[in-house]
Amino acid sequence: MHIETLKAFCDLVELQSFSKTADRHLLSQSAISQQLAQLEMNHKAQLIDRNKRPFELTNAGQHFYKAAKDILERYEQLKSELNTLKSSSGSRLNIAAIFSIGMHTLQPYVKKFMIKFPNVNTHIEFIDAEKIYELVLEGEADIGLVAVAKKDKRLEVYDFETEPLVLVCSPRHILANEQQVDIHDVQFERFIAFEEGIPTREWINNILNRYNVKVRPVMEFDNIETIKRAVEINTGISIMPKPSISQEVASGTLKAIFFTNEEFFRPTGIIVRKNKLLGQPGRYFIELLRKKAK
C-alpha cells in the first residue's frame, strides 16, 4: 500500500468526486477507480457505497479513512523531521512568502539573518497563499508568510507586521493632490482589485462593507505587482498596503493617500507546521520576525 494511494483515497472522500480526485493526482478516473478496487480487495472490505449519490463511506471505509489520515499526517511529520535533521547542520532554510511580503517587507529581516547565519542557504520562494499553506503542511517549506493568516489546527500562527492600507493612484489622477480622502470617494472611481478568493481582497471587502461602500472593479489581478502597474498608467485607483508601494511612491510613479475615516490596516502572519522540529537558524528567524510584531 503506497502513500500516494492513501492520499488519493482521502482526496476522493473529501472531494466527493472521482474526476476532481483524478485531476488533482494527474491520473485518469479509471486509475482512481482501480486504486480503490485494489484497496478493497487487499483488505477484503467495501470502503465506499457506490449505490448512493453522492457515494458514502461504509463503516469499514470510515475506519480506513481515519487511519489513512493519521498515517499521512505522521508521514508528513516524519518528512519534516528528516528535513530538519538535514538542515540542522546549517545547510538550508526554506521560506515561502506571498509576493508583497517577500519582495518588500521581508528583505531587512533576511539581511539580519544572513549576518547571524552566513553559512545557511536561505531559499525564499514567492508564491500564492494557498500554495504556501500546502508547502508548509507538507514540510517542503519551513516557514510561511501570508496576509490575513487563517487558523488551522495543524499550524502554529504568529502575528507579523501590521501594514497600513492606503488609497493608491497615479500622479495624473484627480485625487493625487489630496492629503486624505473619505473612503466613500472610492465607489465613484475605476477600481483595480485583487482577484476574488485572495485573502487581501476579502479583507478590503470587509472594510468597504462596514462603510457601505460598493466598488465595481474594472480589472482584477492575483498579485500586487500587476495591480501597481495598472494604477501607474492611470487605469484606475486601488487600495494597497503602504509598504508594498514605497519604492513607487519614492520615485513618484504612485501616490499614497490615507483615509480620514480611520487607520485601515492589513494583518500579516507567520505560519509553521505544528510539532515541526526547526533547527537553531529556523527558530532564530521566527523570533526575528516576531520581535517586530511585539
Torsion (CA) 30, 35, 40, 41 in degrees, nearest 10: 90
Residue among 87, 76, 80 nearest 280 (CA): 87
pLDDT digits (tens, 9 = 90+) for 151-186: 889 999 999 999 999 999 999 999 999 999 999 999
Going by the DSSP 8-state scheme, the letter that residue 245 receives in this structure is G
Cell of 111: 539581511
Query: What domains lie within the chain, and their CATH numbers?
Result: 3-84 (1.10.10.10), 91-160+267-293 (3.40.190.10), 163-265 (3.40.190.10)
CA 5 to chain centre: 26
CA 22 to chain centre: 24
pLDDT at 50: 84
Residue 88 in this model has a pLDDT that exceeds 80: no
Task: Select the more confidently predicted residue: 89 or 37.
Answer: 37
Residue 86 in this model has a pLDDT that exceeds 70: no
Task: Select the more confidently predicted residue: 213 or 90.
Answer: 213
Q: What is the pTM of this model?
A: 0.67
